[in-house]
């Protein structure tokens, strides 16, 4: 079997077209950056494969043969179509267009996702956005999305992600619950309360509580659990127990904070790309979310690091992010 170096390949068509345009191998080498010797060798391989001479060569000039002219006319169209296809894909990668499917873990009021989506479709009329509330790992495995937002570290996926930001969480309950059962002030007192468990991420299934440099892990226990922070908030508003929730105006107005001297370790929010080469719409959407990093502590958001991150592969080995070129 012939080696790849000496076999016919489609790149030879492009080489032949460039040489035929200029009728000069040296000039073609200057334009393409390919050495003259390589051009001559590849042209010879192409002619040998076809079994005909395409270019009549002498010491002074080069001319297309009859077969070469026929082949040039056909190949020129193919090469132009290939370049047009490449330019179309590059344009697709630069400009947000088409349908963007976004998977959300809940309303995400701290990020004003609704405002970001509305602004994007207004400024990019060729873009349509479909938002879907999805919570399970199976949704990520299917990869039928462009961007998925997820709370907490994602341990068992081989996709590329960016950190949107780290958001402060606190413990909240309804006024009715506090009036009936009291406001716990210590971890020992908290153990006696009904806690609402969120299965959205590891950081919320085990509460990492902090106070004045002291760190304590607390395993919440209760009769209600959900994989949606919005549902957990609704349980708390109904007086069902104490929940760990992001610090935001809506929660602050409908619930009261308990164990005020303690706070949870900030929970990261990740944007996970469904492709290693995300389209322009996906990159623009994530960039807009990162811009919303707000230093105002009352808004519930801390400054966003705006960095690509490594996520472990399914085999447990770290995988280097592939998004640097798309940042």
Does residue 299 have a pLDDT over 60?
no
pLDDT tens across 52-94, in order? 999 998 877 899 999 999 999 889 888 888 877 776 666 665 6
Residue 58 is predicted with a pLDDT of 83
Residue 222 is predicted with a pLDDT of 93
Nearest by Cα to 277 from 323, 319, 318, 324: 323
Residue 225 β-bridge partners: 197
Residue 141 is predicted with a pLDDT of 60
Residue 188 is predicted with a pLDDT of 93
Helix, strand, or coil (residue 195): strand
| CA separation for the pair 221, 190 (Å, rounded) | 10
Alpha-carbon dihedral angle through residues 103, 108, 109, 110, given to the nearest 10 degrees = -120
Helix, strand, or coil (residue 31): helix
Nearest by Cα to 207 from 182, 190, 216, 173: 216
What is the chain's mean pLDDT, rounded?
Answer: 80
Do the Cβ atoms of 171 and 258 come closer than 8 Å? yes
Report residue 283's pLDDT band, with 50, 70 and 90 as the boundaries: confident
Mean pLDDT of 307-319: 39
Do the Cβ atoms of 258 and 184 come closer than 8 Å? yes
Q: State the first-to-last Cα distance of the chain, in angstroms, to the nearest integer.
A: 44
- Alpha-carbon distance values, 27 to 11, 18, 21, 24, 39 (Å): 18, 10, 10, 6, 11
Instruction: Kindly report the length of the chain.
Output: 327
Mean pLDDT of 295-306: 43
Candidate from 93-107, 282-296, 305-319 with smallest mean pLDDT:
305-319
Residue 324 is predicted with a pLDDT of 29
Residue 140 is predicted with a pLDDT of 64
Report residue 262's pLDDT band, with 50, 70 and 90 as the boundaries: very high
Phi-psi region of 242 (alpha: psi -120 to 50; beta: other; left: phi over 0): beta
| CA separation for the pair 200, 125 (Å, rounded) | 34
Candidate from 87-101, 186-200, 228-242 with smallest mean pLDDT:
87-101
| CA separation for the pair 163, 327 (Å, rounded) | 12
pLDDT tens across 128-167, in order? 888 888 766 655 665 678 899 988 887 656 678 889 889 8
Residue 31 β-bridge partners: none
């Amino acid at each position: 079997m012939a080696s790849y170096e000496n076999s016919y390949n489609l790149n030879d068509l492009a080489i032949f077209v460039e040489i035929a345009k200029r009728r000069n191998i040296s000039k073609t080498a200057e334009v393409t950056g390919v050495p003259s010797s390589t051009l001559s060798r590849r042209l010879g391989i192409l002619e040998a494969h076809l079994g005909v001479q395409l270019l009549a060569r002498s010491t002074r000039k080069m001319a297309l043969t009859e077969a070469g002219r026929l082949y040039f006319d056909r190949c020129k169209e193919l090469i132009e179509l290939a370049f047009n296809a490449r330019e179309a894909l590059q344009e697709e990668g630069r400009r947000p267009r088409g349908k963007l499917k976004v998977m959300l873990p809940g309303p995400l009021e701290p990020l004003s996702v609704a405002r970001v989506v509305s602004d994007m479709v207004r400024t990019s009329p060729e873009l349509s956005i479909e938002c879907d509330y999805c919570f399970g790992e199976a949704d990520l495995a299917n990869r039928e999305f462009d961007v998925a937002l997820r709370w907490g570290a994602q341990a068992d996926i081989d996709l590329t992600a960016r950190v949107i930001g780290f958001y402060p969480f606190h413990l909240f309950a309804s006024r009715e619950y506090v009036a009936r059962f009291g406001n716990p002030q210590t971890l020992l007192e908290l153990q006696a309360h009904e806690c609402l468990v969120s299965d959205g991420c590891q950081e919320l299934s085990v509460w990492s509580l902090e106070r004045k440099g002291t760190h304590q892990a607390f395993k919440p226990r209760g009769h209600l659990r959900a994989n949606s922070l919005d549902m957990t908030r609704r349980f708390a508003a109904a007086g069902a127990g104490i929940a760990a929730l992001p610090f935001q105006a809506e929660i602050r107005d409908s619930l009261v904070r308990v164990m005020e001297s303690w706070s949870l370790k900030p929970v990261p929010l990740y944007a996970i790309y469904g492709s290693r080469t995300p389209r322009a719409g996906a990159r623009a959407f994530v960039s807009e979310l990162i811009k919303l990093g707000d230093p105002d502590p009352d808004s519930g958001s801390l400054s966003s690091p705006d960095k690509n991150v490594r996520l472990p592969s399914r085999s447990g080995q770290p995988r280097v992010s592939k998004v640097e070129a798309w940042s």
